[in-house]
Each structure stands twice: as C-alpha cells, then as structure tokens.
Amino acid sequence: MNALGRHILVEFYNCSPELMNDVVHIENSMVAAAETAGATVINSTFHHFSPYGVSGVVVIQESHLAIHTWPEYGYAAVDLFTCGDSVDPWVSYNYLKDAFEASHGSAMECRRGQLNLLKRNDFNLESLRDVSPRPEEKIGTITRDVWFTERDENIALSLKHTGDQLYKKDSPYQRVEVYETFAYGNLLTLDGMVMCTQKDEYVYHEMITHVPMFSNPKAKRALVIGGGDGGTVRELLRYEQLEEVTLVEIDELVIEACKLHLPETAVSFANPRLNLLIEDGIKYIKECENERYDLIIVDSADPVGPGEGLFTAEFYSEVYRCLTKDGIMITQSESPRFNSAVFVEIYDTYKKIFGAEKVHCYLAAIPTYPTGTWSFSYSSKGEAHPLKFDVNAAAAFSKAQGLKYYNEDIHMAAFALPNFVKELLNSKPGEVTDEYSAEPTA
C-alpha cells in the first residue's frame, strides 16, 4: 500500500431503528467488527442519548472506528480508519451492514498519508518509543466506556455502565430497561428517563412517605398510585399502624424488572399487608369509594407516557374525594428549576382543589434527577399540617429503622424553601414559560 492508512466514510440506510437506538448492541457490533477485521481493540466509548441516538468510538491499535446513529431515519454514519496493511476496513464494513440490518450502504475510501508526498523526519524516533507498559496497564485488556445519557436540548445526565443491559422489555405502555452503572449501581429507566438507582433511591422513597406519616399518625389505610419499583411501599410498611397498603401499578414489567435487578426497593411485594393491583390508577381512583384512604401517594413518572393522565385537575379531584376527612395527598411535583412551568401549573391545581392554605411544597436532593433538586407536594383535606409532628418519635423511628436520609431535622428543613421556589408558588400558569428561570417571562 502506498499510503499510511485507509479511511472509509460509510453511510448505512434503512437500518433497524431499534438496533440504531441500542447502545449495547452497537458497542458490541463495533468491537466485533474491529476484531473480525484483525484489529487490536484498545478502548471503546459509547453514549446513548435520550430520547434516541447513539454515538461512539472504538480505539484500535491501528486507529479507530466511529459511529453516530439517527434511529428515526434508520441511518448510521460510520468512520473506519485503519493504518498499515494488517487490517482490512472493508471486512468491518460488511460485518456492520449485517449487524445493523441495513438494506444498503454507501462508502468512499480515502488513502491517508500518501507516501510519495511524505518525507521521513530525521528526528531520533527512539527517544519517543514506549519501552514498557505503565504498571497499571494490562496488556491485551480492553477498556470499555459505555454511557447512558438522559438529555434534552439544554441539559444532560450521563452515567457510565458496564455495557451489559440487565433488562430490556417493551410493555404496552413504555420501554423498561435496567443498566448496571459504576457510580450508582443498577439504574431503572422508563422510555429512556431515569426513574431510580440503587445508590440514591432511598432519598425519594423516604421523603415521599415519612413526611406524611408523621404528620398523620392515625393513618390506617394508604394508597400508592404508580411506584412499581416498590420503594414507596417498602417505606410505608415499616409502620405497624397501617392495616392496609394498596399499590396500583399499571405496568407489571416495572415490578418484574425491579424484583430481578433492584431487590432493595422491591423487597416488600410479598408482605401480607400489601394489596397489589396491576391496573390503571386513573380508573381505580374513579371507581374508589368516598373517603376510603387516610393517605394517597401519587408516585408517578413525569407528565408524559402512561403517567400523563395523573397530572390533571380531574384526577386530583377524584383523589380528594377518596381521602378521609383528615386525609393527605402526596405527589412528586417535579424540579422547580428544570420544570418550572409544570411546577407552577400543578400547584395551582392543588390549591384550587384543597385550598391554598392546605397545600405545601418540600424539597429533597436527588443527584440523578434533573438539577438534583426535587420537589414533593403535601395537600391536606383536613387539619393535618406537615410541621405539626412528634419530633421525638420521628427521631427515634429514623434511628430504629436505620433510615439513610429522613430524620426529624430533615423533615423540618425540607419545608424551608429558596426564594425562587416561593416566587414560583405565588405565580399563575402562563406567567412562567422559561423552564430555566424563576422570573416570569409572559
């Protein structure tokens, strides 16, 4: 060959859209394509983006293979660059065409570093030679960097995982996936959005349950809408006073995935006090008898997909009807910084149903949720107030149960709100349209 390297620019068309969004399949295929061509793989780094698309590169001793996919078009742009004569990039091309189920592809080959245009430098190259590997290196070991990324057009969260997807199934409602991440343990995602991780799930689940339970110590019956990961009912079932806990989850695959791969959250599904129902929470609330529950927790995902109907005035009015006269409704109420417009809208709805003086907001720090600051709503039908609770009992309970986040001080501090959150709570729908600013833009 009269050049230093061969560079093939590839386009694959009519690929499987599902495969073009599968970071694990793409990473495995790219590594296999390199090895099949005779290359020595050094490193692989791949990112999956939300809602869809994969970018990545396989670094080989002979150069690299790179890719970016557009699942919505069934299209992949691939870059194959090999140096020397030992690796044939066209072998990788044919391998990837089959792996991506492309109907056809096009490619253009460039010869890089034409030898007749190059002049060897008389610099002492031996001084640059890497004589021996560094002590921490293991010869022949491939370093893998495979990333899950949840993003929108403004911010992103990336978590590095092992490259092996623990769970992936499509239900009639959503795609349920579990990844094994290095920093946060197993990660549950629904339609590409982070739901919970093994390392920080306790923050969300402790705060959504213990705050209302200590301000309503006479509660006997509790209802959870959503929450198929099991963390919320795990925390509720710590209370012997609760005679019945009902969990209504629309998607049984969420429960299945968490039983298999997040057993710490799914630990209480066999508890005899748990009434587990696989059905639509909206339908259940409509058919529920008046004043049945002392506590109703709406443990829903974001207001998209199967949880979208849980964010309506009609639904919250039905919840109000189902609460006892001293009952409490708790919801996760989004990030006030990231979802400002939604935050304002749902609190305005709560106030119209429960009364402004009966609705309170409290915060918690959850690292894997957008902005790290997450909010919860506390709406009381009767005289219950979130800051009227037995401080000593909360302290003793937190210690006895070995809680990781909630205690009596956190309970009180969570209701101390930053000024920008107070301003949002005093706003009206339509006044705040910029999700990244607390200032009205209307």
Which residues carry a binding-site annotation?
A: 174, 205, 229, 249, 280-281, 299-302, 306
Within 13 Å, how many C-alpha atoms sit on residue 291's CB side?
5
322 given a catalytic annotation: no
Residues of the binding site for spermidine: 205, 229, 299-302
Which of 47, 55, 83, 375 is flagged as catalytic? 83
Residues of the binding site for S-methyl-5'-thioadenosine: 174, 249, 280-281, 306
CA pair distance 279, 229, nearest whole angstrom: 15
Burial 324-353, CB ≥16 within 10 A → b, else e: beebbbbbbbbbbbbbbbbbbbbbbbbeeb
Which of 29, 44, 55, 63 is flagged as catalytic? 63
CA pair distance 387, 276, nearest whole angstrom: 31
145 given a catalytic annotation: no
**DSSP SS3 for 26:** helix
Beta pairing partners, 175: 170
63 given a catalytic annotation: yes
Residue pair 320/351 in contact by the 8 Å Cβ criterion: no
Which of 44, 299, 379, 427 is flagged as catalytic? 299
- CB under 8 A, 24+ apart: contacts of 357-361: 360/385, 360/386, 360/415, 361/333, 361/336, 361/415, 361/417, 361/421, 361/425
Torsion on CA atoms 223, 224, 228, 232, rounded to nearest 10: -110
68 given a catalytic annotation: yes
Which of 25, 50, 68, 385 is flagged as catalytic? 68
**Residues marked as catalytic:** 63, 68, 83, 299
